[in-house]
Amino acid sequence: MSRFVECVPNVSEGRRGDVIDRLADAIRAVEGVRLLDRTSDVDHNRSVFTYAGEPEAVLGATHALVDLALREIDMRAHKGEHPRLGAVDVIPFVPLSGVTMDECVALAHRFGHELAKRHDIPVYFYANAAAQPERVRLPDIRQPQYEGLAALLETTHVPDAGPRRLHPTGGAIVVGARPFLIAFNIELDSSDLKLAQRIAREIRESSGGLPAVQAKGFMLTDPPRAQVSMNLLDFTTTSLARVWREVESRANAAGVNLLRGELIGLIPLDAVLAVAADALRLDGFTRDRVIETHFLE
C-alpha cells in the first residue's frame, strides 16, 4: 500500500511573484512530490503551498522550501494582515493514506529538530504534535506575533527545539501534525473592520461559538472591504454551510451583505458534497450518490 503524506506550509510572502514562483519550483524539483495547490494573498502577504508524496520525499521538499524561504524573506521588513511568527510561519503534516496520525507526529518532531539544528532557529510543535498542552492551538503560540516573540523566548515561549533567540531574518517556525483543515474566508460588502471582528469573535469556538472553528476579522484593500477569516478544524462537526449562514445572519442584522467566499488551499470532496446536500436539502444524502466517486475509489 502506498504511503502518502500531505504538507501545507504557510510562508510569509504573498507579494513578490518571482519569490513565490521559486518557492513552488523548489517543491516541484523534489522527485516523488506533487505540488497540488499554491495560493497567495497580497493583503495577508502570505502564500500557502499544498503538496503530497511519500514521507521522505515530502520531508526533502519541505527542507528545500525552508532553505529558500529563509534566504529570500526578511521578517524585519515584513508587513501583512495575517498573524505570523516567521518567514515560514507554520508547517503541518497531514496523513493521507497508509500513514497514521502517530506517524505524522513522529515526522513533525523529527523535522522540527532537523530545522532547529540546520538553521539555528526556534521551533514550536502544535496540534497533535504539541509537546505542551498549552501549545495545541496555533493561535495561542502565534499570539505575540513576530514583533513580540523575542521578549518571551525565556518565559512563556521557550522553544520546543532550537535556540532561545530569533533567527536573524527568519524569526521562528511552528511545526505540527493535524487532520484536514479547511481555510475559508468570507468577504463582507462593507469596510467595517469592527463588524468583521465582532462576527469572528461570536462564531469562533474559543469565544463560545461554533465548535472546531477559529476565526479572525481582517481589513483588505483594493477595494477596501472587511473579511472574516476562518479555519474549520473539523468540517464534520461544523460545516461550511453552517459557517456561511452564521456569518450571513450576523452581517445581515447589521445591514451588510456578503460579497463572496474564498478557499485557501484545497478542500476534501466530502466537505463540498455536504454543502451541496445542505443547499438542495437532500435528506440522507451520501457520497455514493455521486457518479464520479465510484470511479475515484
Which pLDDT does position 49 carry in this prediction?
A: 98
Tell me, yes or no, if the pTM score tops 0.85.
Answer: yes
- Which whole number is the average pLDDT over 125-133? 97
**3-class secondary structure for 238-269?**
CCHHHHHHHHHHHHHHCCCCEEEEEEECCCCH
287 touches 273 (CB < 8 A)? yes
Q: Which of 95, 104, 144 is nearest to 125 (CA)?
A: 104
- Highest CATH level, class, for 4-177: alpha beta
Query: Residue 218: pLDDT above 90?
Result: yes
Which pLDDT does position 292 carry in this prediction?
A: 87
The string of DSSP letters for 172-224 reads: -EEEEE-S--EEEEEEESS--HHHHHHHHHHHSGGGT-STTEEEEEEEETTTT
Which pLDDT does position 295 carry in this prediction?
A: 86
- Which whole number is the average pLDDT over 185-199? 98
Query: Residue 296: pLDDT above 90?
Result: no
Domain boundaries, the chain: 4-177, 182-296
Exactly one of 44, 63, 78, 82 is catalytic; name it. 82
- Which whole number is the average pLDDT over 4-27? 98
Q: Cα 202 to the chain's mean position, in Å?
A: 21
Query: Residue 256: pLDDT above 90?
Result: yes
Query: Residue 45: pLDDT above 70?
Result: yes
pLDDT digits (tens, 9 = 90+) for 130-160: 999 999 999 999 999 999 999 999 999 999 9
User: Which helix or strand (DSSP H or E) is residue 57 part of?
Assistant: helix 55-72
Query: Residue 293: pLDDT above 90?
Result: no
How large a percentage of the chain has pLDDT more than 70? 99
pLDDT digits (tens, 9 = 90+) for 65-116: 999 999 999 999 999 999 999 999 999 999 999 999 999 999 999 999 999 9
DSSP symbol at 284: T
- Which whole number is the average pLDDT over 155-173? 98
Residues 86-104, buried b or exposed e (16+ Cβ, 10 A)? bbbbbbbbbbbeebebebb
Which pLDDT does position 1 carry in this prediction?
A: 62
Whole-angstrom distance, CA of residue 59 vs CA of residue 26: 12
Bridge-based pairing state of the strands 258-264 and 182-188 = antiparallel
Taking each continuous run of H as one helix and of E as one strand, the counts in the chain are: 9, 11
Q: Which of the four CATH numbers 3.30.70.670, 3.30.1300.10, 3.10.105.10, 2.102.10.10 does domain 182-296 have?
A: 3.30.70.670
Q: Is residue 157 among the annotated active site residues?
A: no
> Average pLDDT over the chain, rounded to whole?
96
Which pLDDT does position 247 carry in this prediction?
A: 98
Res. 297 pLDDT band, cuts 50 70 90: low
Q: Which residues contact 107 (CB under 8 A, 6 or more apart)?
A: 5, 55, 59, 93, 177
Residue with cell 464520479: 292
